[in-house]
């Protein structure tokens, strides 16, 4: 039995296999309509979500399975003090697979250690979000056709942005990938990530505060929200929240085939005028999220 807690729990070969399955699901959806007949997915969400929870649920429904769960901690026995370990052990008696989001880093790992069924980390605090990364990888594959030889700009909250952390880990395994890390000084990537995944692996990266200056060299621009819920001090959030607002004017020197990604939700950081531009890929990403979660559920349930 396997869980998915960190994107690096998957080899690059396994990621390739998930991407191939995802592409086949898009091409032949009816082939997958009964792959999970009789199976149940439990979504245990201790933190708000629109895309991750609903795409997991849609994924299981499209595979012929069913779903149960809770969308906030207060509607579960967590409100009475139950631990995530006991909750996971309990839910193991009702479902075949768990998707868990939690505000505390490491909570899905704790759940996986006690669970009798696979646990998928659907986002743990400011740490990791591996299924968003699978979503991002499917989007990159569909938009660019490759993972190698790409210059990827990541912009916004790189300190608390769990999607950024998982994406850097995943993309650092491919050839000739360059990262351009664009953030205010206060929201630069954590030191462990810089040292272990970039410096120690000899990955080329630059850190800058200047989004417009680096625009011409980017193949992918991954925008992120400054996350109010991760700040201890509201004054810091208010000072930093509008550090980067992407507009068509700021993209005028981009490559014509730049792909703009964003895990969403968006607040101010991408002007709505960009939504209909061919470079905007963030709503395509939403669709890809459901597809890759279908592929992942089948893999972890060992469905042929």
Catalytic annotation, pick one of 51, 89, 178, 239: 51
Q: Does 49 bind ligand CP (CB under 6 A)?
A: yes
State the Rg of the chain over Cα.
19
Residue showing tokens 């929200």: 225
* Interior/surface letters 223-250, b for 16+ CB within 10 angstroms, e for the rest: bbbbbeebbeeeeeeeebbebbebeeeb
Q: Does 50 bind ligand CP (CB under 6 A)?
A: yes
Q: Does 52 bind ligand CP (CB under 6 A)?
A: yes
Token output for 304: 């042929």
Region binding ligand CP by CB under 6 A among candidate stretches 109-117, 205-213, 229-237, 257-265: 257-265
Region binding ligand CP by CB under 6 A among candidate stretches 4-12, 47-55, 107-115, 170-178: 47-55
Query: Shortest distance, CB of residue 114 to ligand CP, whole angstroms?
Result: 24
146 is catalytic: no
The strand order across the sheet containing 204-208 reads 204-208, 177-182, 150-155, 220-223, 259-261
Query: Shortest distance, CB of residue 267 to ligand CP, whole angstroms?
Result: 12
Query: Shortest distance, CB of residue 50 to ligand CP, whole angstroms?
Result: 4
Q: Does 69 bind ligand CP (CB under 6 A)?
A: no
183 contact partners, CB below 8 Å, separation of at least 6: 155, 156, 157, 158, 159, 189, 207, 209, 243
Give the nearer residue to ligand CP in terms of CB position, either 123 or 126. Answer: 123
Give the nearer residue to ligand CP in terms of CB position, either 229 or 253. Answer: 229
Catalytic annotation, pick one of 35, 40, 53, 101: 101
Interface residue with ligand CP among 23, 26, 51, 303 (CB under 6 A) is 51
Q: Are 254 and 277 spatial neighbours (Cβ–Cβ below 8 Å)?
A: no
142 is catalytic: no
Q: Does 133 bind ligand CP (CB under 6 A)?
A: no
Region binding ligand CP by CB under 6 A among candidate stretches 48-56, 77-85, 189-197, 221-229: 48-56
Give the nearer residue to ligand CP in terms of CB position, either 91 or 264. Answer: 264
Region binding ligand CP by CB under 6 A among candidate stretches 67-75, 111-119, 258-266, 294-302: 258-266
Q: Could you tell me how many residues of this chain bind ligand CP (CB under 6 A)?
A: 9
What mask of x and - would describe binding to ligand CP in positions 136 to 175, judged by CB under 6 A? ----------------------------------------
Q: Does 264 bind ligand CP (CB under 6 A)?
A: yes
Q: Are 75 and 91 spatial neighbours (Cβ–Cβ below 8 Å)?
A: no
Show which residues are catalytic.
51-52, 80, 101, 129
Binding site for ligand CP (CB under 6 A): 49-52, 123, 132, 263-265
């Amino acid at each position: 039995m396997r869980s998915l807690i960190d994107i690096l729990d998957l080899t690059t070969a396994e990621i390739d296999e998930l991407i191939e399955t995802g592409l086949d699901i898009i091409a032949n959806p009816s082939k997958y309509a009964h792959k999970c007949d009789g199976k149940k997915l439990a979504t245990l969400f201790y933190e708000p979500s629109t895309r991750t929870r609903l795409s997991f649920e849609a994924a299981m429904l499209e595979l012929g399975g069913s779903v149960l769960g809770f969308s906030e901690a207060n509607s579960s026995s967590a409100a009475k003090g139950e631990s995530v370990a006991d909750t996971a052990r309990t839910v193991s008696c009702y479902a075949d697979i768990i998707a868990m989001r939690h505000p505390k880093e490491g909570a899905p790992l704790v759940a996986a250690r006690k669970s009798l069924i696979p646990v998928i980390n659907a986002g743990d605090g400011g740490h990791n979000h591996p299924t968003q990364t699978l979503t991002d990888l499917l989007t990159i594959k569909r938009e660019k056709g490759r993972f190698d030889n790409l210059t990827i700009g990541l912009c916004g909250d790189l300190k608390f942005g769990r999607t950024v952390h998982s994406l850097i880990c995943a993309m650092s395994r491919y050839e000739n990938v360059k990262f351009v890390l664009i953030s205010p000084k206060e929201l630069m990537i954590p030191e462990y990530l810089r040292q272990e995944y970039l410096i120690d692996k000899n990955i080329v990266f630059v850190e800058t505060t200047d989004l417009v200056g680096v625009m011409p060299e980017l193949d992918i621009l991954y925008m992120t929200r400054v996350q109010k819920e991760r700040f201890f001090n509201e004054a810091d959030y208010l000072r930093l929240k509008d550090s980067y607002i992407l507009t068509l004017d700021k993209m005028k020197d981009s490559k014509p085939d730049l792909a703009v990604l964003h895990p969403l939700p968006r607040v101010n950081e991408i002007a709505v005028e960009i939504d209909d531009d061919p470079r905007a890929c963030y709503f395509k990403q939403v669709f890809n999220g459901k597809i890759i979660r279908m592929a992942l559920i089948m893999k972890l349930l060992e469905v042929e």
